[in-house]
A and B are shown apart, each in its own frame.
Chain A
Amino acid sequence: MRFRTLIPRVLGLLLLTCSVASAQESRIGDLTGHANRGKALYERYCIFCHGTHGDGRGESAAYLDPKPRDFTQATYKCRSTPTGTLPLDSDLYDTITRGVHASGMPSWNPLTRQQRADLVAYIKTFSSRFTEEKPGAPIPIPAEPPTTPESVQRGADLFQSMNCWQCHGKEGRGNGPSAVSLTDTKGYPITPFDFTSGPRFKCGNSDTELFRDLVTGLDGTPMPSFTDALKPDQIWDLVHFVKTLAKGNTVQAVQSTPKGNQ
């Protein structure tokens, strides 16, 4: 009988310690990262740009464009979760692993998986949001339909009607009429992505990752979420279209592609 009463008590205590500890931990698949170990790594590798307080004001920050991420805001570009919600631990892990193209953030793939998980745990401690809120539910990504001239053409039409060109420019060079006015949330000037610059994107280069970026938006930047605005098929059309820009094709070249020419 004594043993029976003990079980729920022990379970309760376990639950309590887990909920306290989770603020200092990260979970990426089978990995558990620990903030105390992440702190030492942060102070060795990250502090020069992201700063002692994680506010993106490290010693090198003045020389960087775009500016290092301010972790105290908990606003992240590359997420699998809806706009306005916290990222998953695995989203932060992926960004650390991948690096951020066209910024000062390199790939930290040379660190071990455990070290990267520890860094995620520590980065989360800079914002109380990670203890107060749960991450958003990851957005669903349906199977990708084949890239066809029709799909590319529909994407080109959407690029026009959804006003993508107002920032990214008619030819996707990042030079639309609104481009010069753009700032990030902290007020620093920000340049729209130049699709002609090559096939590398900030949050990953696969079609699935581009689909995800369009649905989630890049929080903290002028790039909005298209979650309410477009259906999944339309988002795939846009993905197919912007990929043709990356190969150096212009909108005109895509539009002149005869329909059904495949």
Chain B
Amino acid sequence: MSTMKPSLPFFISTVVLLSLATAGIAAGPGPDAGGGSLSGVVKFQGAAPMPMRIQMAADPACSKSHTTPAMSEEVVTDGSGGLANVVVYVSDGLGDKTFDAPTQPVVLEQKGCVYEPHVLAMRAGQTLKVVNDDSTTHNIHPTPANNREWNKSQPPGLTIEETFARQEVSVPVKCNVHPWMKSYVAVVKNPYFAVSAKNGSFEIKDLPAGTYTIQAWHEKLGTKSQQVTIGANESKKVEFDFR
């Protein structure tokens, strides 16, 4: 008879199971098909700073892999003022919607003792696959403010896989062995983001109709923000200006 009466541990486990189940339902699919598209260009106003030459002589394995000198990628512009390596993402307007992380990993390469890409955007919980194509040992060391900090030695050929659980735009990543090596990993909790190309262009596809705060983040030039309202199947253009 006593087994008929729900006990407290039973009650607790039921609540936990129920909340887990609802969390599973709340986690939506990927980007909505039939949504709008937000595209545009990120511009740098004025004369862009001259890129600095990187000195790699401390490790001949690095300097030997370059026929022309490697240049810093802090501010990368094209001839017509397009600004590359800007993370454009939806920072607000999605409400409580959550999104399952994709199973496909994103890849960060170390090639010629330079990170490729210099700025990478990925989803919270997605796998970051770090590849070492060089003949020298690196250490891969993210220094996040809102995620776990880790630091791993990575000899030639070794692949390292890690994740970042929480949104953070952006996590600085460095190699302490080769101090010129720097990159940034933008961790976004929704699928609506892009990194501006060499000519400053970007596109965020399949954005559901709504009003959003769109942020544009650059490693040296800071963050710009604007409100955008987008209708179903609408193609909207926006521009971000940095100086």
Contacts and interface: CB of A to CB of B under 8 A. Distances in A.
A228 interface: yes
A12 B162 CA distance: 36
A84 B140 CA distance: 12
Given A163-B177, A166-B59, A228-B158, A9 B8 contact: yes
Interface string B119-162: 00000000000000000111111010000111111110010101
B9 interface: yes
B8 A8 contact: yes
Nearest to B59: A166
Contact of A217 (B7, B138, B151): B151
B152 A229 contact: yes
A219 interface: yes
Interface stretch (A107-115, A178-186, A199-207): A178-186
B56 to A, nearest CB: 11
B46 interface: no
A219 B137 contact: no
Interface string A196-229: 0000000000000000000001011111111111
A131 B215 CA distance: 32
B174 to A, nearest CB: 9
A21 interface: no
A138 interface: no
A220 B143 CA distance: 8
Contacts of A161: 137, 155
B5 interface: yes
B152 A227 contact: yes
Interface residues of B, number: 33
A193 B136 CA distance: 22
A80 interface: no
A200 B148 CA distance: 29
B19 interface: no
B25 interface: no
Contacts of A11: 8-9
A213 to B, nearest CB: 12
A225 B7 CA distance: 47
Interface string A1-42: 100110011011101100000000000000000000000000
A191 interface: no
A229 B137 contact: yes
Given A185-B143, A229-B155, A75 B7 contact: no
A220 B176 CA distance: 12
Given A162-B137, A163-B136, A84 B177 contact: no
B64 to A, nearest CB: 15
Given A9-B8, A167-B177, A177 B58 contact: yes
Given A4-B2, A163-B59, A225 B9 contact: no
B236 to A, nearest CB: 38
Given A1-B1, A8-B10, A225 B154 contact: no
Nearest to B9: A12
A12 B149 CA distance: 36
A85 interface: yes
6 contacts: A84-B148, A162-B153, A163-B137, A178-B179, A224-B152, A228-B160
Interface of B: 1-2, 5, 7-12, 58-59, 136-141, 143, 148-155, 158, 160, 162, 176-179
Given A163-B139, A225-B151, A229-B155, 15 more contacts: A1-B2, A5-B2, A5-B7, A12-B7, A12-B11, A12-B12, A15-B9, A73-B149, A161-B137, A166-B59, A166-B178, A178-B58, A229-B137, A229-B158, A230-B153
